[in-house]
Amino acid sequence: MHGLTLKRENHVRSSILQTSIALSVLLFPATGQKRSGATPSDMSAEVIFRRFAGRILFLTCDVSPDKERAASGVLISADGLVLTNAHVVEECQSITATILTGQMRQPFSARLKYYGPQTDTAVLKIDARGLDHFNVVSVPARVGERVYAIGNPRGLEQSISEGIVAGVRERDGTSWIQHSAPISPGSSGGALISAAGDLLGINSFLLADSQNLNFAVPATTLVSALSAARKLTGYLNFPPAQRSIISQLNPNGQQYLWIPPGKFMMGCAPGDDRCSGDEKPRHEVEITEGFWLGQTTVTVGAWKRYRAATGKAATPPLSQIGRAHV
């Protein structure tokens, strides 16, 4: 009887121990255990900032002696290649790229190596060596994953914000990452970083009069921009200003129209009484990149005839009405 009692006690103790272990696993999961979509390699905002903020540069575009703009750039090579947006470099007389390390400031004169307005990408070069930088690889963004934006919104150096990837969009052959990490003017060219520390893209624009509809150039596009920049042996002049903020109405109260790429006929055929006197004779026009028609470059009547002939609507891609670069 004594031996039977001991066996029963041991069995009870073993059951209690197993139950306690099971409750511990449920209530206190082991560190690094995958849960709620997180992975063991995910980093906190604090770690992301500490590791990567020094790779984000403060860009100053000197438009004129009494006017300058602030933006952001991302170091992508040890020898001083910097990614930013095409609209950041437009209209600049010169650009200063400043490396921020704690309280230290290292300003460099930046030259233009590549300019791609269609994808809103540009590559700058500063004369420096041994720099901490991101490796630019084609890392796809996953909808729902956590992301961090680091840049200089409104001139506030190395600001970090958090969000998720809300979507991956493609319009007119150009891809964009839609995300909810807050950005503002000055964030342009700043990094969009995954929780694993990958450079997913650089921030480009937001949709005005909306709530956190922010867009970044994806890493796949950045790879192409970097490749093109490395192939160029010389440097480019800074380009003139393009239309950075797009509105429905121009200063004369006329509606902007989106002209898509393609070949079409413009102008007046002889004897066509529907034409106004300011139209040119009929001729073929080839447009390689879509653009907004805000002034009377061509008449609205000519545009309507083109639209009727081709069936193409005047709807801008990616809801570009109200789109504003940051």
C-alpha span between 201 and 183 (Å, rounded): 14
C-alpha span between 83 and 200 (Å, rounded): 13
DSSP-derived secondary structure for 91-103? T-SEEEEEEEETT
CA angle 68, 71, 73 (to 5 degrees): 135
C-alpha span between 72 and 155 (Å, rounded): 9
Contact assessment for residue 178 and residue 200, using Cβ atoms and an 8 Å cutoff: no
| 252 to 249, 255, 256: CA distances (angstroms) | 8, 9, 11
Please name which of 158, 124, 139 lies closest in space to residue 54, comparing C-alpha atoms: 158
Question: Which sequence positions are flagged as catalytic?
Answer: 87, 120, 188
